Homo-oligomer: A and B are copies of this chain.
């Protein structure tokens, strides 16, 4: 969606200013034009012009007079429009498909999920069924006055730098699948959702995280690194492969060919097997949670072992990266009560300088889908000029 950087310095400056203003409105709490001007360091007149453009384009809306009781003429409060451009996200899970639409504020406005056995199924068939869900939520969003700005599809696998090739997704049985859709690794989207959306209800004391390791899991173990407020992709786009960090180097053979990878101890399949739950069972994760909540000994032992393995692999990662925090997100966050003690114990023992902050994602297992949907919104906020020029 983003325009090229262009060569006209005036146009580039205008684009930057528009983006600064819309980001200020997004971050602020019903700010007036004057407050936005103070925030972005532009004159009140310039900001007023830009805000008028953003209102005309339907990106920003006026909420009426701001907080009575403030000194002087009350400014008109500004907010992102609930009927502006919208981001569409879709998710290919091992046994589900999902799609949703978020507005500029990051609020979910339409959503659909279906169970689907995607393991070993042809990619074209899976993506065809997903297309039906995407059409459904898009129609709902359009009926609400939203304008689709872009679609991102989350996949549990390695994605090429072109964002159109799934290099390998072993849990789906995909290899070098090329698509016209924009695809992204699910762990990356979970981490981006954490970066973009989890800090929203921030208190002054709790600044948003800018440097963290985000760990999620469905069948494998996915992780993503956020460094200096940006997703870190690595030289080939393969960064964050926590699932194949060696934990016990002579341990069982992994699907990747190596021995003793984290996935063999904390991946969903390994944990379910250890807990005595059939990995094919529909609702198996819920069954695992229920068993653990009922103090079922094999389930507790399986989760304890998984937490310990996760803690060992994360100790290495934290010793290397010294992040502000480790965030457990995705389906893993629902098992956090049983995983966290082992994770924290190993980190406490093994990390130079003593432990690390480990937190559960506030987004839970929705993070990936939200991150996929919000990607297009983020592109609009980063360059709103495409929408104001229409």
Asked whether any CB of chain B lies closer than 8 Å to the CB of A234, the reply is yes
Name which of A227, A241, A249 has the most chain B CB atoms within 10 A of its CB. A249
A78 CB to nearest B CB, Å: 30
User: How many Å lie between the Cα of A351 and that of B241 in the bound state?
Assistant: 9
Q: Given that A158-B353, A349-B257 are known contacts, is A322 also in contact with B236, CB under 8 Å in the complex?
A: yes
Q: Which of A296-354 contact B (CB under 8 A)?
A: 312-313, 315-317, 319-324, 349-353
Asked whether any CB of chain B lies closer than 8 Å to the CB of A235, the reply is yes
Asked whether any CB of chain B lies closer than 8 Å to the CB of A233, the reply is yes
Asked whether any CB of chain B lies closer than 8 Å to the CB of A244, the reply is yes
In the complex, the chain B residue whose C-beta lies closest to that of A247 is B249
**Cβ contact within 8 Å between B350 and A319:** no
Asked whether any CB of chain B lies closer than 8 Å to the CB of A240, the reply is yes
Asked whether any CB of chain B lies closer than 8 Å to the CB of A248, the reply is yes
User: How many Å lie between the Cα of A354 and that of B51 in the bound state?
Assistant: 51
**Cβ contact within 8 Å between B312 and A249:** yes
Asked whether any CB of chain B lies closer than 8 Å to the CB of A174, the reply is no
A186 CB to nearest B CB, Å: 15
Asked whether any CB of chain B lies closer than 8 Å to the CB of A272, the reply is no
**A216-255 vs B, Cβ < 8 Å mask (1 yes, 0 no):** 0000000101010000111111111110111111000000
**Cβ contact within 8 Å between B248 and A353:** no
User: How many Å lie between the Cα of A322 and that of B227 in the bound state?
Assistant: 14
Name which of A235, A240, A316, A353 has the most chain B CB atoms within 10 A of its CB. A316
Copy number in the complex reads 2
Asked whether any CB of chain B lies closer than 8 Å to the CB of A211, the reply is yes
A243 CB to nearest B CB, Å: 8
**Cβ contact within 8 Å between B322 and A246:** no
Give how many A residues have a beta carbon under 8 Å from the other chain's beta carbons: 43
In the complex, the chain B residue whose C-beta lies closest to that of A258 is B350
Q: Given that A232-B227, A245-B320, A320-B225 are known contacts, is A238 also in contact with B158, CB under 8 Å in the complex?
A: no
User: How many Å lie between the Cα of A376 and that of B240 in the bound state?
Assistant: 35
List chain B residues, Cβ under 8 A from A239.
320-322
**Cβ contact within 8 Å between A237 and B312:** no
In the complex, the chain B residue whose C-beta lies closest to that of A256 is B352
A170 CB to nearest B CB, Å: 11
Task: Point out the residue from B237, B245, B352, B353 that lies within 8 Å of A319, measured CB to CB.
Answer: B245
List chain B residues, Cβ under 8 A from A316.
245-246, 313, 316-317
**Cβ contact within 8 Å between B244 and A350:** yes
User: How many Å lie between the Cα of A353 and that of B240 in the bound state?
Assistant: 12
Task: Point out the residue from B235, B241, B256 that lies within 8 Å of A324, measured CB to CB.
Answer: B235
- List 9 other contacts, CB 8 Å, given A238-B319, A239-B321: A227-B232, A236-B322, A237-B322, A239-B322, A240-B322, A242-B319, A244-B315, A244-B350, A316-B317
User: Could you list 15 A-B pairs, sorted by A, with CB under 8 Å?
Assistant: A225-B321, A235-B324, A236-B322, A237-B322, A238-B319, A238-B352, A239-B320, A241-B322, A244-B350, A244-B351, A246-B315, A247-B249, A259-B349, A317-B320, A320-B320
A interface, CB within 8 angstroms of B:
158, 211, 223, 225, 227, 232-242, 244-249, 256-259, 261, 312-313, 315-317, 319-324, 349-353
Please name the 7 residue pairs, one residue from A and one from B, whose CB atoms are nearest each other, closest first: A234-B322, A245-B316, A241-B319, A239-B322, A238-B322, A258-B350, A241-B352
